[in-house]
């Protein structure tokens, strides 16, 4: 698998996903291409390993290690997304725009996860405390207890496309040129990332 192709793009989205406090747009086509490439290369490597030629077997072993690296990146990308769904299940379930953007398997996962988690809380905690304290979304003072991604989280970003003047949420204007590196709040970085102007580092 070539580092300059699908794997390099997946590696970039893996870094972005790990650095962002919120779930990013799912790279479905890229993931499907990577899976297809992995299947094809795995078959080729297996056939090369069966050949009784030390040189070909040696190169096949190197290719096998590269396949394992690609599988690791793919699994880590998917795990990074699932960890956010587990951390903020109600936030994603109650946000129609975000929920509709999730792929079917992630929608099913977060719904099932919250169903199990809420049942556990109801069976073990809520059943033995006063009814005024049984809400999983509000405390006794009426404050929202639903965890959600912190849009004030600081992230490091590298500019990959010149934007020019950009206004931060604080009202300050910054000049954004290709090659610049910034420490930004997530609420400021998110639109730039979605437009393909920056990458997280």
Which pLDDT does position 164 carry in this prediction? 93
Query: 103 lies in which domain range?
Result: 88-148
pLDDT at residue 143 in the model:
66
Shared-domain flag, residues 143 and 154: no
Residue ranges of alpha helices (H) inside the chain are 6-19, 28-49, 54-87, 89-94, 96-101, 104-124, 186-194
Say which CATH number the domain at 194 has. Answer: 3.40.5.60
Residue 191 in tokens: 């639109």
Please tell me whether residues 136 and 168 are part of one structural domain.
Answer: no
Q: What is the pLDDT of residues 29-82, one digit of tens each?
A: 999 999 999 998 888 888 877 777 788 788 888 888 999 999 999 999 999 999
The tally of domains found in the chain comes to: 3
pLDDT per residue as tens digits for the range 133-158: 767 776 556 667 788 999 999 999 99
- Are 175 and 153 a contacting pair, CB within 8 Å? no
CB distance 23 to 81 below 8 Å: yes
Give the rounded distance of the alpha carbon of 49 from its chain centre.
Answer: 34
Q: Which two tokens stand for residue 84?
A: 């956010």
| Domain harbouring 75, CATH code | 1.20.58.1030
Token pair, residue 159, equals: 């500019």
Tell me what pLDDT residue 138 has: 67
> In 3D, which of 113, 178, 189, 194 has the Cα closest to residue 150?
189
Say if residue 65 is in the same domain as residue 96.
Answer: no
Position 141 scores a pLDDT of: 61
Mapped onto helix, strand or coil, the DSSP state of residue 138 is strand
Residue 9 shares a structural domain with residue 60: yes
Query: Is residue 174 pLDDT above 90, yes or no?
Result: yes
Structure tokens at 61: 């072993």
């Amino acid at each position: 698998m070539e580092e300059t192709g699908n794997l390099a793009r997946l590696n970039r989205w893996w870094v972005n996903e790990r650095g962002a406090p919120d779930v990013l747009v799912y790279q479905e086509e890229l993931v499907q291409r990577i899976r297809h490439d992995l299947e094809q290369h795995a078959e080729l490597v297996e056939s090369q390993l069966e050949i009784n030629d030390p040189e070909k077997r040696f190169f096949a072993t190197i290719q096998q290690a590269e396949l394992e690296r690609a599988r690791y990146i793919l699994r880590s990308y998917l795990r990074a997304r699932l960890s956010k769904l587990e951390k903020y299940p109600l936030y994603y379930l109650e946000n129609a725009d975000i929920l509709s953007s999730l792929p079917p398997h992630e929608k099913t996962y977060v719904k099932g996860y919250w169903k199990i988690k809420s049942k556990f809380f109801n069976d073990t905690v809520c059943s033995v405390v006063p009814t005024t304290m049984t809400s999983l979304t509000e405390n006794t003072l009426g404050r929202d207890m639903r965890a959600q991604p912190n849009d004030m989280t600081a992230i490091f970003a590298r500019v990959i496309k010149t934007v020019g003047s950009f206004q931060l949420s604080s009202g300050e204007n910054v000049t954004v040129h290709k090659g610049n590196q910034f420490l930004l709040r997530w609420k400021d970085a998110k639109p730039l990332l979605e437009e393909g102007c920056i990458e997280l580092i």
